[in-house]
Amino acid sequence: MQRNKGFSMIELIVAIALLGIAVTLIGGSITQIFSLDQRQCANELNSAISRCKIGAMSRAGDVYLKLSVSGDGVFCTYYENDTQTEQRKIGKPTLTISYTDDAGVNHTVTEAAPLYLSFVRTTGAFLKVGDAQRLADPAAAPADYYCETIHVGAYRVELIPVTGRHDVAR
């Protein structure tokens, strides 16, 4: 009588195939989890920009939005007449936020170098970044460019400066 010890070639192939399928599913799930944070942050930023546009076009006085990243997370701060009316945490501190200006230069958003956004009251177009920053700090150094794209990981908020339109894309 002969005893079969060990694995047959078929059993080994089946085990490796099952292991490969499991690794693929787990890897896809992890990617989806990280992508979910990025998508949620981009969508919340887009809605904050919408609120800023509505406020800038309908209220008297200066209305602007400040986007900053600190050790506590990504924050959108809404101002009316130099008074902070709302600050919302829209993302985790692990997210990296940057934006591209109309010359194609990439800028990283930090706590020390936030992004200011505002709108022209009469047309709804975006103000230049420097003009929006001067609403918060009249002594700010002029930044003579428009923000065209805000990058949140794999997602981006695309801004059309002339019309004030903005959309989330991947």
Would you kindly state where each structural domain of the chain is located, as residue ranges?
9-169
pLDDT of residue 22: 85
| Confidence band, pLDDT 50/70/90 cuts, at residue 27 | confident
**What is the pTM for the complete model shown?**
0.80
Confidence at 4, pLDDT banded by 50, 70, 90: low
Average pLDDT of 116-128? 94
pLDDT, residue 116, reads: 95
pLDDT tier for residue 140 given thresholds of 50, 70 and 90: confident
**CA separation for the pair 88, 76 (Å, rounded):** 5
Q: What is the mean pLDDT of residues 25-39?
A: 77
